[in-house]
Every structure is written in C-alpha cells, then in structure tokens.
Amino acid sequence: MAEITLKALAHSYSSHPVQGSDYAIREMNHIWEQGGAYALLGPSGCGKSTMLNIISGLLQPSNGEILFNRERVNELKPEERNIAQVFQFPVVYDTMTVYDNLAFPLRNIKMPEHNIRSKVHEIADILDLTEQLKRKAKGLSADEKQKVSMGRGLVRDDVTAILFDEPLTVIDPQLKWKLRRKLKQIHEQFNITMVYVTHDQLEASTFADKIAVMFDGQIVQFGTPRELFENPAHTFVGYFIGSPGMNFLDVEFKNGGVNFAGKTLPLSSQLIAKIPADAERIQIGIRPEFVQIWSEPQDGHLDIEIDYCEDLGTYKILTFRFADQVLKARLSEDQPIPTGKAYVSFPQQWLKLYINDYLIEEPA
Amino acid sequence: MNKIENNKAWFLVLPVFLLVAFSAVIPLMTVVNYSVQDIFDPYTRYFVGTEWFRQVMHDPALRGALLRQFIFSFTILAIEIPLGILVALMMPTTGKAASAALILIAIPLLIPWNVVGTIWQIYGRADIGLFGAAMNALGWEYNYASNPTHAWMTVVLIDVWHWTPLVALLCYSGLRAIPEVYYQAARIDKASRWAIFRFIQLPKLSNVLIIGVLLRFMDSFMIYTEPFVLTGGGPGNTTTFLSQSLVKQAVGQFDLGPAAAFSLVYFLVILLVCWLFYTTIMNMQNDKKV
Amino acid sequence: MSLSLKNITRVVDGETWLEDISLELEPGSFNVLLGRTRAGKTSLMRIMAGLDVPSSGQVLMNRVDVTGVSVRERNISMVYQQFINYPNLSVFENIASPLRLARMPEAEIKRRVQETAEMLHIEEFLQRLPLQLSGGQQQRTAMARALVKDSGLILFDEPLVNLDYKLREELRSELRTLFKERNCIAVYATTEPNEALALGGNTAVLHEGQLLQMGPTESVYHKPMNLVTAEMFSEPPINVIKGRVTDTEVTFDDTIHFQLNNELKILTPGDYNFGVRPSHVGLVPHADDDLELPVKVELAEISGSETFLHVNNPHFDLVLHLSGVHEYHVDKEINVYFPTHKLYAFDNEGHLVHSPYRIGV
C-alpha cells in the first residue's frame, strides 16, 4: 500500500526549457491516497503517460520530487519501487505458458515453488484464466493477454500500486465491458492503489473513485465522477466529461446582470456579485442533460429553433439554435420532440458561471 | 494481398528469365551432361550412366573432404552465432556511437575474400606476421603451414573474423525491432539480465537467427578462397574442403565426369539443407499466425 | 452513382472471409458496416474499392459490372485507420495529389483544395507537413484528400479509432453535415454500435463473414432480425433470458412467471430467448404489469451521469442502465422491475419473432 505524493513536480523533455509550453507537466502538487482507484483523464498530449512513467520510475522528473509514503523515490529504479504497470499493448512472454508468465515475477524474487503455485492459481481464478494456464501465451487473444499482464501485477505481494496505461485500447468493444468489471472487482477485493490513465471519460468514470482531469500538463480538477459532472471547476472539464459535453454561452456583464443576445439569463445575485469588473471572458455553462425542452411557451421559456435530432437508442440528442449559438439537449428515449415551435428553459441551479475558464461558485 | 489479374507483368520478367537461363540453367545442364559421360578429350566421349556417381560415393578422398566440410561448417556455426549475438547485444543503440559501431563492425565484410586469405596468411607467419611472431614469442610453437591443428584453428579464425559481423548485423536489426514496452515490463517484473535475454530477446531474434544460420551454413559449406589462399589445402589434405577437392579433380586432373557427378551431389546436399530451413521458417511463421 | 453487390463470396486459403453478401447502396446514402474485428468489414470494403477480387459474385457500379476492374479505373476514395498521408508533401500538396494525377488546371486545383480544407477546418495548416500536426488534424488531411476528388464512392475503414473520445465525437458530427450535401455513397466501417447510431443513415451488420441485417440504422436497432444482431448492436450488451411460453403465461426457469399479455399472445407455445434492453429494466415499476424480480447486486459502475448496475439471481444475470448516480454495495439485495411489454422474443435459432410495440413506429 502506498501513498504517492507529487511535490512541486514538473517535467520537460527538452534540456533547456524556457517557457510553459516546453513543459510536458507543469509544476503541480498532488497526493494519491492509499488504496484508492484513481483515473488520470485527459486528451492525447496532456501529459498523462508522462505522469505515469514518472510514478513507475521509467522516467525521472526534471524538477520536483516524488514520494512514496513520504519518502523520496526519485532515484529509485522501477525494479526497486514495487510498482506494477499494465501497458497499452499487451506484453506477454511468448515462449512461456500462461502459468509461467504469471509465476515469472515471483520466480525472480526467489519465492518457494509451492507458494508460487497457490498464488498463481488464486490470481488465475480471479481473472478467469484457470483453463488457459497450460497454454502457450503466444496463442491467446488480445484481452486474454491483457489479463495475463494484469495478473503479473497482481501475483506479487509486495506491490504497492498498479498503474494502467490505456489498457483497453486494443480490446474489442464487446469485451471492454467484461474487463472493466474485472478491474473493479479486483480493486474491491485487493484494496491496492490503482491509477488508470485514459482518454475515455466513460471508462474513467466507471472505474475510478476519483478522477484527475489533466489538461495541458496540469491537473485542472480532482474529484469524484459526480463532482466532475455536476460541478466542473474548469471549462475543459465541462467539455471533456459527459457525452455530449457541456454547453457554453459567451455572455456580457451588463446592467448588473448577465446578458446574452438581449436576454438576461437567470443567475443568483450572490453569484453575479462575484464577477470582477475586469473579467476577460465570461461564460455560462449548462449540461445537455439539464436543458429542458418544451413545446408550449410559459414564463421564463425562451425561443429556440431546432436543427436536428439524433437517436442514439437509449437517448436522443437535440441540436438547436438559441439566438445564434448552437446548443445541445439530451433527452430520454421516449421524450417527444416538438414538431412546431419549441422552447427551452435553463434551471437556475444547473447554470454555472465561468470567468476566464474557471468556475465561480456561490459562497456556501 | 491479391492484385487484379493482368498479364502485362510477365514481359517485365522475361529479361531476367533469359539471363538466369543463360548463366545458370544451361551450365547446370552441361554439368549433368558431363556427369553421365566419360570424357577423354573434347572429341571422345562415352555414355557411362551412373558409374561416376557410384565411384565418387566410394572415393575416400572425396568422403574425407565431405566429412571435413561438415565438421568445419558446424564448428563455425557454433562459434559465430553466439558470438554474433553477443556483439549485437553490446553495440550502442543511439547517437553517433551507434553509426560508428556499425561501420567498424561492417569492415571485415567489405574485404575481397582472397585478400582476407592473404592478410591472414601474412599475419599468421611465424617470421614476419604480427600474430604468428607474437604467438611464438609467448612460447607457443604456432605454425599453420606444418601443423594440421594450427591450420584448422587458423582457417576457423579467419572465417569467424570475416563473417561474425554478418550475424551481428542481422541480430542488431532484430534487436532494434523489439518494442520498448517489453523491456519496461521486464524491469517492472524484476527480471534479471539473463531472464530478459532468454525470454524476450532470444525469442524475438529467432526469425533473424534462422536466416543467419542458413546463410552461414550455405556459405561455409561452399568455402574455397580463404583456405586455398592460406594453406593451399595443406598440410597434406587436412584443410582441403569439398570445393577445393572438386576443383583439383575437375581442373587439375581433368576428370570431368566424376567431378561433375560429385558437383551434383554437392548441389543436392545444399539444396536439401536449404529446403529444411525453409520449411522450418514457414512453420514458425504459421505458428505466429495462430 | 449506385453500388450493387450480388452474392459476393471470398475464400482465402480455405477460410471463408465473406459469404454470399448482397447489398444495394443508393446514391447520396451514408452506410455503416457494423461488426467485430475480423467480421469481414475490411474485406468487403476492399472488394467495393477494387483492391481485391471476390471468389464469386458481382460488383456493379451504375448497373455496369466492374468486378474485375482495377481500383485505378474506379472513381473511389478511401480513408484508413492509420493516418495515411504523404510524409514529405505539405498538407496542400497532399490534398492536391489526386487532382494533379487527373491533370486538372492549377487554378481549379487551388480552389478545390481551399474549399475542402475549409470544410474540414484545416485551412491554416496548408503549408505544414503532416507529421507536424496532431492526430486529429492528420486524419482530417487524409479525409480532405478523399473528399476533394469528388468520387462517387468514399470508404472509411474505422478512421476515428486512433483518436481521442472527444475528437471522435466532433469528427462524427462533422461527417454527418459534410455528407448531407453530397451525392456520393459513403461506406463507414466501425466496431462500435454507438458510432453507428450517432452517424445514422443505413447500417449493415456483419458477423463472421455473413450479412445479418441491412436497413435504416434506427430500424435495425429497434427491430433486430436475430439474436446476434441484437447483441452486436447494444452497448451494454442486451440482456438475454431463456424462457418458455405456455398457453397462459411466460415462465423463466419455473419460478418467475407472468401472464401472457396481448402482445405476446401471438407466440406459439415453446422455448424462446427473451431480450430486454438494459435501459428498460428499472428500479421502480413504470407500468402496472412490470414484473418484480428479487436480485443481488454484483457491481455498480457509476459514471457522472449514469449507472450500470450488474445484478443476478440464481437463474440469470442482468445489466441495468440507469440514469443518475445510484450507489450500491456488493451483495445488496434489491428488487428490479422487468417490463413485460418491452420484450424481444427470439426463437431457438435466434430469429426474431416478436419486438416490442413502439409509439409512432
């Protein structure tokens, strides 16, 4: 079990970094607590694989420190850190059987053979690999190979954390489900710290207790899937989480209220009071799930024009235009789409205010 | 990948076809022709059927040469393959050092074969050769011209010096093709250096090694220039390998018939070995497809 | 241009990669090929393109038999999974390459390239090399090259699979709008049912070299002709439960049963496989005749806005797709409600015999 601390950690791949954009990871402080299941979520190039390799020791950070249980480990090699890592590309030792693959890490530390046997059988059972134990690893399918890779991490008693680098990339969509469930079950059973890197927000949400969203080398928000969904701290989080992402409207601060195309949007006065006079960019965000569509006008309903509707089986996405901006609403499968005039309302509690991309919250 | 059926491409192959026909097929047929005839002079020849074949199979000189040839080929394989792998493992992988290493390693391959023989002939002489003189100074009575064991060792040494770079280069390219992830995973599994070699590098090198073994076996089985230049086949006939025996017979003694017959046998042995290797490679590739 | 495939079969080394596939594609249609890896999507596309010849069957373009015609003579474009661009040509030259081969005048080339680049939002990168661009931009360049030619048939072989989730969503909606105005046939291969649903148009479901069903995407989704199609077209996978129909009721493993309702009365008594979508099983009853099932929670997968609840009882496993966040511990016992009027019924060979009634369909 390990508590992993990042202290003033930064990393640049160039030898003489000058400006912020030279850094793959900008200076950050962060603690991954013991036993948690964490996801590191972000688009390609945001620095998440770099972060993972720094934690496992395959890469040494150019600045700052990384601590395991409060002790500095910058100089420790991966072999010395007791970390297991599962890669994007399933790595198995082709010439060995599945049994030998799973036994390999234990044999390297000279564990007695009978202990190895019980450990391997235990893990093979959890991963549903018991039938394949005698087979040569070369002939397995991609998902079975990934399970073997995971197994090699799990057999070890001394493992403090398991790191996953986009492990489901090469797996068929039908089988991704099964493997995700397996990962969750493993976490519940073993209580090891697990860090899972991905660019798929659904994967991150279903696996992790808490997600760290990375953007441009920084962790912009660290919270539970629910927090990230209901209260995105940064416009990027609003955009990246949820399918489709959050709707954003550029608004003006005029006459003591937030104005958009001649209409004043409802916001609490406490929130409005927090807008600084020199704010560069003011945006209002609301998630498509909370946008409400009506076919009858009522107080507070605003005119819209419907562009088109996509039927995605379990839900529908309505793309509409609200005073020159394109927005989306997510409707349930059975909800009828207005055929003539249509109206929208934005429930006040779901409207979020963003100044220069950061969330302004009401005082508690 | 199947391309659309179209016959125009055959015309492009025709020149090569004709070239191979003239330079290989027709001479080969000539050899077959000679192997079944007794030739006294260009105008007097008699058909003798398989008599030459029977004779060469029982000829002690040729049998001895064949045995020596096999021993030689297996010896150099046993040395060159492990040595080549070792050299490849030690070569730097990036930067200017890598390019420099590649050039250095490749130099022995670029030298004309008879020059190689000549270099070593002088190098190994007890009076003026650096190596020979040094060995004698150290107390070892090294003389490749008179001592059969020393002659053998020298011929093997020449071949190792000359051709290990080929194996090393093949293995080097094979090693470069291994994705970095494998090494990373092995480090995390706390694998020892030996385990990494045995379970990752060696299996991934297997394709390349098969080609290396095939090439080296074929070439060494046909070796002529280096031993001829070094020892002329001596002392006696201790380093007379197969090709040299055949040349002596065909050109020296003008026994075209038996020489032709044995050439065919020689050819068939090599063909058999190649076929064995080819089948092995095909089977290994099919395994991979599973 | 119209495309017609008649009884296409392709056998390679004794293995049947495609078996007796017939398809009719109308001009201006967007067609999705949905199937697992190795189902035959790429093989089929290669035959449409003319890169491979079928072992038997015909390919007709505009009613003309082009089965043996090489790809160079057909007017098609193709976009691949790996972002394939000429690495030493600028983005402008990459997009212009097919036009240059057709010896179009320079002014015309410039105009078309500019127009296509603007459609795909890469006009500011025209002078850069592909390797200097991000993955999404490289794939847009490849798509621009495919679109600039104005071919009658454009093939996409899982083009978005190497891109980020969000980038995929964006490019998908752009593809929809791009193809609305054009009159060419688009064929798009994918393994993900959600992508097929998002793209709309028509879907052909392929499985192990056979064509299972072809039709407008929505109807293939709502009315899968057989069990395999239903399973393929659903993420999370559709719940399948074996049951038996008698004269009066439907039973699942003898303990759980309900009265035959009006819709299911048409089924002749016998054994059936019943399918129910995960989003239709709920934690509260939606209708009076919902069946109450006591189950145990196996796992709750929670994303920010929805929950996938895996439950089981001694007879079967179910997955529920619930909106909102629902937290449950493993092994907790709860009741779920099974909609008896939203069942699909498949016979023992897997053919659809009954699908639920939908309003307005």
Q: Distance between CA B113 and CA B120 in Å, rounded? A: 11
Residue C360 has pLDDT above 60, yes or no: no
Query: Measured in whole angstroms, how far is the alpha carbon of residue A231 from the centre of its chain?
Result: 15
- Cβ separation of C53 and B4 shorter than 8 Å? yes
Amino acid letter, C216:
P
Q: Write down the residue that tokens 């065909």 correspond to.
A: B250
- Reported as type and span, the H/E element at residue A149 is helix A142-154
Q: Does B5 reach chain C within 8 Å, measured CB to CB?
A: yes
Q: Distance between CA A69 and CA A319 in Å, rounded? A: 50
Enumerate the residues of chain B whose CB falls inside 8 A of the CB of residue C52.
1-2
Q: Three-class SS of residue A281?
A: coil
Both tokens assigned to C245: 């129909």
What predicted TM-score, i.e. pTM, was given to this entire model?
A: 0.76
| Best to test chain A binding among B181, B189, B193, B194 (most A CBs inside 10 Å) | B189
Work out the widest C-alpha separation in chain C, in whole angstroms: 77
Both tokens assigned to C263: 């819709």
Neighbour subunits, B (≥3 Cβ pairs < 8 A): A, C
| Best to test chain A binding among B181, B182, B187, B190 (most A CBs inside 10 Å) | B190
Query: Can you give the pLDDT at residue A267?
Result: 67
Q: Distance between CA C260 and CA A260 in Å, rounded? A: 56
Shortest distance, CA B5 to any CA of chain C (angstroms):
8
Pick C304's closest partner by Cβ from A43, A225, A244. A225
| Best to test chain C binding among A202, A216, A332, A333 (most C CBs inside 10 Å) | A202
Separation of first and last alpha carbons in chain C: 31
> Residue A283: which of A338, A349, A352, A215 has the closest Cα?
A352
Q: Does A312 reach chain C within 8 Å, measured CB to CB?
A: yes
Pick A173's closest partner by Cβ from C135, C192, C304. C192
> Which chain C residue has the Cα nearest residue B2?
C52
Enumerate the residues of chain A whose CB falls inside 8 A of the CB of residue C193.
173, 313
Q: Distance between CA C60 and CA C6 in Å, rounded? A: 8
Residue C122 has pLDDT above 80, yes or no: yes
Q: Distance between CA C323 and CA C308 in Å, rounded? A: 9
Query: Can you give the pLDDT at residue B87?
Result: 93
Q: Is the dihedral of CA C279, C284, C289, C295 positive or negative?
A: positive
List, in order, residues 6 or more apart from B123 with CB less than 8 Å away.
B129, B130, B131, B132
Pick B2's closest partner by Cβ from C53, C69, C71. C53
Pick B203's closest partner by Cβ from A58, A88, A94. A94
pLDDT one digit per residue (tens) for chain B, 290 residues: 344 556 777 888 888 888 888 888 888 888 888 888 777 777 777 787 778 788 877 888 888 888 888 899 999 999 999 999 999 999 988 888 889 999 999 999 999 988 888 888 888 887 888 888 888 888 888 888 888 888 888 899 999 999 999 999 999 999 998 988 888 888 888 888 888 898 889 888 888 888 898 889 888 988 888 888 888 877 877 888 888 888 887 777 777 778 888 888 888 888 888 888 788 877 876 665 54
List, in order, residues 6 or more apart from B208 with CB less than 8 Å away.
B170, B171, B173, B174
Enumerate the residues of chain B whose CB falls inside 8 A of the CB of residue C50.
4
Cα–Cα distances in Å, from A122 out to A117, A133, A151, C331? Answer: 9, 12, 10, 21
| C92 backbone dihedrals φ, ψ, rounded to 5° | -60, -50
Please report the DSSP string for B33-102 in residue order: HHHTEEEEETTEEEE-TTHHHHHHHH-HHHHHHHHHHHHHHHHHHHHHHHHHHHHHHHS--SHHHHHHHH
- Cβ separation of C70 and B1 shorter than 8 Å? no
- Cβ separation of A94 and B189 shorter than 8 Å? no
Shortest distance, CA C67 to any CA of chain B (angstroms):
10
- Cβ separation of B199 and A104 shorter than 8 Å? yes
Shortest distance, CA A173 to any CA of chain C (angstroms):
6
Cβ-based burial of C150 (10 A; exposed 0-12, middle 13-18, buried ≥19): middle
Interface of B with A (CB under 8 A): 179, 181-182, 184-185, 187-192, 195, 199-200, 203, 287-288, 290
| Best to test chain B binding among A50, A97, A104 (most B CBs inside 10 Å) | A104
List, in order, residues 6 or more apart from A319 with CB less than 8 Å away.
A306, A307, A308, A309, A310, A326, A327, A328
Cα–Cα distances in Å, from A68 out to A75, A158, A208, B185? Answer: 12, 14, 21, 21
| Best to test chain A binding among C306, C307, C317, C319 (most A CBs inside 10 Å) | C306
Query: Can you give the pLDDT at residue C155?
Result: 92
Per-residue pLDDT tens digits for C166-209: 888 888 888 888 887 788 899 999 988 888 888 888 999 998 88
| Best to test chain A binding among C36, C81, C139, C165 (most A CBs inside 10 Å) | C165
Enumerate the residues of chain A whose CB falls inside 8 A of the CB of residue C235.
173-174, 177
Enumerate the residues of chain A whose CB falls inside 8 A of the CB of residue C308.
206
Per-residue pLDDT tens digits for C35-44: 888 788 888 9
- Cβ separation of B188 and A79 shorter than 8 Å? yes
Q: Does A294 reach chain C within 8 Å, measured CB to CB?
A: no
Enumerate the residues of chain C whose CB falls inside 8 A of the CB of residue B6.
70
Q: Distance between CA C201 and CA C216 in Å, rounded? A: 6
List, in order, residues 6 or more apart from B271 with CB less than 8 Å away.
none
> Which chain C residue has the Cα nearest residue B4?
C70
Neighbour subunits, C (≥3 Cβ pairs < 8 A): A, B
Q: Distance between CA C77 and CA C82 in Å, rounded? A: 15
> Which chain B residue has the Cα nearest residue C53?
B4
8 A C-beta contact, residue A167 and residue A191? no
Per-residue pLDDT tens digits for C270-314: 888 888 888 888 888 877 777 888 888 887 777 767 788 888 888
Secondary structure, 3-state, B170-207? HHHHHHHCCCHHHHHHHHHCCCCHHHHHHHHHHHHHHH
* Ranges in chain A, pLDDT < 50: none
Q: Write down the residue that tokens 């007879």 correspond to.
A: C315
Shortest distance, CA A2 to any CA of chain B (angstroms):
17
Q: Distance between CA B236 and CA C23 in Å, rounded? A: 80
> Which chain A residue has the Cα nearest residue B182?
A91
Please report the DSSP string for A204-248 in residue order: HHHH-SEEEEEETTEEEEEE-HHHHHHS-SBHHHHHHSSSS--EE
Enumerate the residues of chain C whose CB falls inside 8 A of the CB of residue A45.
134
> Which chain B residue has the Cα nearest residue C71?
B4
Enumerate the residues of chain B whose CB falls inside 8 A of the CB of residue C69.
4
Q: Does A104 reach chain B within 8 Å, measured CB to CB?
A: yes
Query: Can you give the pLDDT at residue B1?
Result: 39
The share of chain C scoring above pLDDT 70, in percent, equals 98
Secondary structure, 3-state, A47-84? CHHHHHHHHHCCCCCCEEEEEECCEECCCCCHHHHCEE
Neighbour subunits, A (≥3 Cβ pairs < 8 A): B, C
